[in-house]
Chain A
């Protein structure tokens, strides 16, 4: 079975600084990877996804992620964060032929400070 690890439960960062949220996955077969964002007391919104092709994926709100198969990672980055980026971020994985069932990481709370 596949799994996702988000080692950082909280990441504080100052406004306009760069940020990287880490995600590592485990799977014996090919995977599809996703990053979602959740604002307080709301549902999840897709930031970006990797299905195939270029390993650098660009998403909404200036976020990007790089798929690294050898390191089984899919880290999320933003070169300059804004206060409005304060939210919880979830990495998720599904396997090819997996019926679109997602396995989520435990989430990383990004707190942007002035």
Chain B
């Protein structure tokens, strides 16, 4: 089945540590996205990538980094510079085109900083 996988589902880290969240898709989509979800705030865009080896900052990129070396993969690193990293992180992908295309979402990773 085609889809998006995110791992791990739950992640705990100590303050001051970097952590990398995995996102893989087999939908052959060019575009991929990372969102952060906090209660009562909806989803906010962290980074997005329209094509391999290229990515842009979203609305809340500070303290995060990404890479896009393969079409299928778009890992997100939460660095120690992110002041409040505890949140639910969602990865999404979509095909490219002139008309807006549906974004497909993964099941999410819940990160808790201890």
Smallest CB-CB separation from B110: which chain A residue? A41
| B interface SS class | strand
Question: Across the interface, do B40 and A106 meet the contact criterion of CB distance under 8 Å?
Answer: yes
Q: How many residues of B contact A (CB 8 A)?
A: 29
Chain B residues in 8 Å Cβ range of A107: 40, 42
Question: Across the interface, do B103 and A102 meet the contact criterion of CB distance under 8 Å?
Answer: yes
Q: How many residues of A contact B (CB 8 A)?
A: 26
Contact of B42 among A45, A94, A101, A105 (CB under 8 A): A105
B34 within 8 A of A: no
A74 within 8 A of B: no
Question: Across the interface, do A100 and B108 meet the contact criterion of CB distance under 8 Å?
Answer: no
Question: Across the interface, do A100 and B42 meet the contact criterion of CB distance under 8 Å?
Answer: no
Chain A residues in 8 Å Cβ range of B44: 104
Chain A residues in 8 Å Cβ range of B102: 34, 46, 49
B105 within 8 A of A: yes
